[in-house]
Amino acid sequence: MKKSTLTLVAAAILSMTTVAHAASPLKLEVFNHGEASIFPVSSALIVGEHEVALIDAQFQRNDAQTLVGRIKATGKPLKTIYISHSDPDYYFGLDVIKVAFPDAKVIAIAAIEASQVGKVAYWGPIMKENAPQKIIVPTPLKGDSFTVDGQKLEVKGLTGPTPDRTFVWIPSMSTVVGWIPVSANIHLWIADTQTPQSRADWRQTLQQIEQLKPKQVVPGHFLPPMDYSLSSVTFSLQYLNTLEKALATSKDSAALIDTMKKQYPDLHEESSLELSAKVLKGEMKWPQ
């Protein structure tokens, strides 16, 4: 197979990439507003000859509105929106996108409906005008895949130990859309994995991605520079291993934070480390 090429189109902090594959009509466009947003969360457009699918819908209304423009620029109908996780940065932008594309089918595996009220109450005052005006609850995914122009996009991990931390594998493109398990150039958000077993399960998911040997990996959260290689999976796995060792030898969150900052002095999103450390050391309850 002819090696795939990756073209990065960026304006300021906005990251939008297009991947063209000689053996497949599908294209991948990655949208990530970087440090201009509260969270550097990714959305992915899978663009076929006749239709488009969207994986995750952004957090803020303004970012979702920009994403709508990118979708319209493909010139193809948005048929499917897949939400990969129940964290609000993956689905709060749905109301904006559904207004623009009312016929698009919204599917998910995550339990958004059960947690939406508390998340809107917490984030609404922080986000202000960028908070969602309405929460769109997806329809449960049937099976373990969906398609674009008949080509299968596989949701991996549904039967594993962490079905809430899946990723999408696109065989025809040898591409993993890594989402919640994979990050790059930032401190990982650990506050939602508060037990050693939950973090071991996370590492198992990352190892599963490595075993696929993808040509490209899209992290769920990242800051540039980003080469979309397997390095983001390697980084995420190493970070979790380092944190586990530091957690065992740190007497409190301050010591844990200090150790991790010394190990990773150049990473962004220190607030994620600081909150996660407090939660893991029992100094803060999460979720609130």
Q: Which two tokens stand for residue 141?
A: 């995914």
In whole angstroms, what is the distance from residue 261 CA to residue 266 CA?
Answer: 8
Whether residue 122 is contained in a domain is answered as yes
In the sheet that holds 145-148, the strands lie side by side as: 145-148, 151-156, 167-170, 175-184, 216-222
3-state secondary structure of 222: strand
Whether residue 286 is contained in a domain is answered as no
Whether residue 285 is contained in a domain is answered as no
**DSSP tag of 146:** E
Q: What count of residues does the chain have?
A: 288
Whether residue 287 is contained in a domain is answered as no
- Beta-bridge partners for 10: 15
pLDDT, residue 112, reads: 67
pLDDT, residue 109, reads: 80
pLDDT, residue 5, reads: 36
**DSSP tag of 36:** G
pLDDT, residue 265, reads: 98
Q: Smallest Cα–Cα separation from 177: which of 30, 73, 72, 61?
A: 30
In whole angstroms, what is the distance from residue 118 CA to residue 274 CA?
Answer: 22
Backbone angles phi, psi at 72, to 5 degrees: -60, -30
List, in sequence order, every beta strand (DSSP E) within 123-239: 139-140, 145-148, 151-156, 167-170, 175-184, 216-222
pLDDT in tens, the chain (288 residues): 434 434 333 333 344 544 444 445 899 999 999 999 999 999 999 999 999 999 999 999 999 999 999 999 999 999 999 999 888 999 999 999 999 999 999 999 866 666 677 888 989 999 999 999 999 989 999 999 999 999 999 999 888 777 888 899 999 999 999 778 999 999 999 999 999 999 999 999 999 999 999 999 999 999 998 999 999 999 999 999 999 999 999 999 999 999 999 999 999 999 999 999 999 999 999 887
CA 19 to chain centre: 18
Which residue in this structure is represented by tokens 């947690």? Answer: 115
* CATH number of the CATH domain containing 90: 3.60.15.10
Tell me which residue range forms the domain holding 272.
Answer: 5-280
Whether residue 256 is contained in a domain is answered as yes
Q: How many domains does the chain have?
A: 1
